[in-house]
Structure 1
Amino acid sequence: MQLFSIFATLAAAAVAAAQNQTVTIMVGGEASSSGGIFQFIPNTLNATNGSVITFEWTGSPGNHSVTQSSFNAPCTPLQGGFDSGWILIAGSTTLSPPPSWDLMITDDSTPIWFYCKQLLPSPHCNSGMVGGINIKPGPNSLAAFQKAAAAAGPPGQAQGSLAGVGASASVGPFIPSGAVFFPSGGPTATAPAPGASGSGGATSGGSPTNSASSGGTSGSGTPPPSGAIPTVSFDMAKILGTVVVGVWIGMAVVL
């Protein structure tokens, strides 16, 4: 009986640990990338509660946001949704580490839709820079979301916050030297020097007006291919290994 109790406790702990995984989504591609500049890579995945989605701004030059929307309005900020603000990487600069932002999944039963709200050099959302997390089977697919985004009006510019629907951040984006953060408006001709940053979760809105390279000077307007859907879930080999080791330890304690 005592062995069973130890086994059950260790199994539960292993399952809980396996659920809290981290996966990275790259924000923006290169002009030479398959799918072009205007994309999230990957643009869809599945993640369980407690998992952390790390968005990394890797496209350069690029000026992008991660803004929550809805299936019915793919290029409009969702009321009560999360929003990273704009992050600019000027020129062909590779930053290490890159700008990043962590979102924790709080409700894996809710599909999470997001887009880039940058307008220049052409609206990124309408060009296919959209994505989804925990998309359910059925007509509300990623392909349908991309199609609706391509036909939508100019992307909405209202500023969101850290807390979203189905996912939330505890702090604003990490901004390394070489990147510029615009929490409530896009870069202008008087933009701060690289490395400047603002506070996440600002509530004011603003329409980006960028005189520098914003999202690159070229890119494919074709929605990026979805490919296989990554899943942030259980690693059964690790779970079983942890449980077996735990059982041996438990037997040693009992004996």
Structure 2
Amino acid sequence: MLTDSSIKVVRVGATSGAEGGIFQYIPNTFNATNGTTVTFQFTGAPGNHTVTQSSFADPCDPLAGGFDSGWVSIPSSPALTAADTPEWNLTITDDTKRMVGAINAPTTGNKTFAAFEAAAKAFKGTPAQVEGGLVGVGASASAGVGPVPSGVKLFTASAIATTSTKSSAATTSGSAAAAPSSTSKSSDAKKLIASSFVVLLGTAIGISLA
């Protein structure tokens, strides 16, 4: 667990050989005080990844009215360097954040990070996924994910609705959301080019990773 500081950097995704596999935040839990800026770096692990606002009660579905980075599609080659990876920046404005990853998760009781992680792993079904919501519950963003180096594609549809819709198709395991199919996303997907994604958070949150 990281200690408090004014800036946090969290890697989104890892290599297949890493402990914990591809689908993880590094680090996946830490404490932060008011005004801390959290930068999510999409690190170049091949595949589609998102950072999505969810809830402790339903960690694998987007929070109704929540924010979402949109799908960030990382090619298998060439590998991206730290200097040109897309970033998603968040600024914490409350001391009770819970991000599977977590910020300021309780260490005791029934809502610990371990409990949140266990709930995500126990999820059965296909998570709902509506990408690109810049305004969330207790959160607002100034821009989309960026910068966007050559080979990286960003996809976003409509903003996450104020009422959630749940999918009930194929069963998945773990905390990762289902990847968008090329047929379902091709008509409304678009590329975003922006310098950063800054969100001001005002409520306790969960963030799911795909």
Q: TM tier, shorter chain?
A: 0.5 to 0.7
Work out whether 1:188 is the aligned partner of 2:182: yes
Within a 5 Å distance, the mapping from 1:20-59 to structure 2 comes to 21-59=6-44
Q: What is the CA–CA distance in structure 1 between the aligned matches of 2:139 and 2:32, rounded to whole Å? A: 11
2:110 partner amino acid: P
Q: What is the CA–CA distance in structure 2 between the aligned matches of 1:171 and 1:91, rounded to whole Å? A: 26
Conserved? CA contact 1:85–1:159, under 8 Å = yes
Give the 3 Å change call, closer, same or farther, for CA 199–156 of structure 1 in structure 2. Answer: farther
Question: Please, which of 91, 94, 107 is the counterpart of residue 94 of structure 2?
Answer: 107
Give the 3 Å change call, closer, same or farther, for CA 142–133 of structure 1 in structure 2. Answer: same
Report the structure number with the largest CA radius of gyration.
1
Conserved? CA contact 1:95–1:178, under 8 Å = no
Aligned pair count?
A: 164
Question: Please, which of 130, 150, 167 is the counterpart of residue 121 of structure 2?
Answer: 150
Q: What is the CA–CA distance in structure 2 between the aligned matches of 1:68 and 1:146, rounded to whole Å? A: 14
Percent same amino acid among aligned pairs? 48
Q: What is the CA–CA distance in structure 2 between the aligned matches of 1:179 and 1:43, rounded to whole Å? A: 24
Shift in Å, 1:189? 7.2
Higher helix share: 1
Give the 3 Å change call, closer, same or farther, for CA 68–157 of structure 1 in structure 2. Answer: same
Higher strand share: 2
Q: Quote the RMSD (CA, aligned, Å).
A: 2.8
Conserved? CA contact 1:105–1:167, under 8 Å = no
Shift in Å, 1:190? 11
1:36 partner amino acid: G
Shift in Å, 1:167? 4.8
Q: What is the CA–CA distance in structure 1 between the aligned matches of 2:151 and 2:184, rounded to whole Å? A: 16
Q: What is the CA–CA distance in structure 1 between the aligned matches of 2:154 and 2:181, rounded to whole Å? A: 9
Within a 5 Å distance, the mapping from 1:1-255 to structure 2 comes to 21-96=6-81, 97-109=84-96, 111-113=97-99, 130-137=100-107, 138-152=109-123, 153-159=125-131, 161-165=133-137, 167-174=139-146, 175-184=148-157, 186=180, 188=182, 197-198=191-192
Give the 3 Å change call, closer, same or farther, for CA 131–59 of structure 1 in structure 2. Answer: same
Conserved? CA contact 2:131–2:155, under 8 Å = no
